[in-house]
Amino acid sequence: MARGLNKVMLIGNLGSDPEMRALPSGQTVTNFTLATNESFKDSSGVLQERTEWHRIVVWGKLAEICNQYLRKGRQVYLEGKIQTRSWDDSKTGEKRYATEIVCNDMQMLGSPMQQQGSNYGNQGGGYGQQQNQGYGNQTSYAPQQPQEQGGYQPSPGMGQGEPEKDDLPF
């Protein structure tokens, strides 16, 4: 069912909380950004850092898992494929492009306690006794508050449609 390879593997930190939407089709999609950091010595031998931002798209069951367990700042491993959407800019008539990583595998890394987003600690409500039984244990996280997902957004048609303005690269 495939005649090629298009594989992306990322380890980085979420730049934003995941945003999950239900599409009219019934599909679930979650979006977030991921920063991958790279350090290198420049031509003068000075240590430089470079951060690359990736726009992540997740579908289906994994979309729900990402929405539930991931938060801004969290370190994750992601696997997926590169996909570039294009549309005609309504203002200029030019072709525009946005490249995304369609994620099909995710591993949470490290421990959630230190990687929480700014308000992570609060959102579990009464989960005071939440304890971390060891690294890598994925079952001890506080479940996310029910989100207001704001009903149905216009369908991206599996990511192919015309993106809204704030759907564009970040």
Partner DNA sequence: TTTT
123 binds DNA (CB under 7 A): no
Is 49 an interacting residue with respect to DNA (CB under 7 A)? Answer: yes
CA-based end-to-end distance of the chain:
33
Q: Are 154 and 164 in contact (CB under 8 A)?
A: yes
Query: Using the rule CB under 7 A, is 15 a contact of DNA?
Result: yes
Residue closer to a copy of itself by CB (options 93, 125) is 93
Asked whether the beta carbons of 31 and 62 are under 8 A apart, the reply is no
Q: Which segment (40-48, 110-118, 142-150, 151-159) binds DNA by CB under 7 A?
A: 110-118
Residue 150 Cβ, how far from a copy of itself at the closest point, in Å?
25
Stretch that binds DNA, among 18-26, 92-100, 130-138, 151-159 (CB under 7 A): 130-138
Q: Which amino acid is at 114?
A: Q
Among DNA, a copy of itself, none, residue 72 binds (CB under 5-8 Å by kind):
DNA
The secondary element (H helix, E strand) that includes residue 105 is: strand 95-108
Token pair of 90 as six digits: 């309504």
Query: Is 14 a residue that touches DNA (CB under 7 A)?
Result: yes
Question: Among candidates 29, 10, 28, 14, which has minimal Cα distance to 170?
Answer: 14
Residue 140, Ramachandran bin (φ over 0: left; ψ between -120 and 50: alpha; else beta): alpha
**Interacting residue ranges for a copy of itself, rule: CB under 8 A:** 1-13, 35-41, 47, 49, 52-54, 73, 75, 77, 81-84, 86, 89, 91-92, 95-99, 101, 107, 109-111, 113-115, 132, 134-138, 168-169
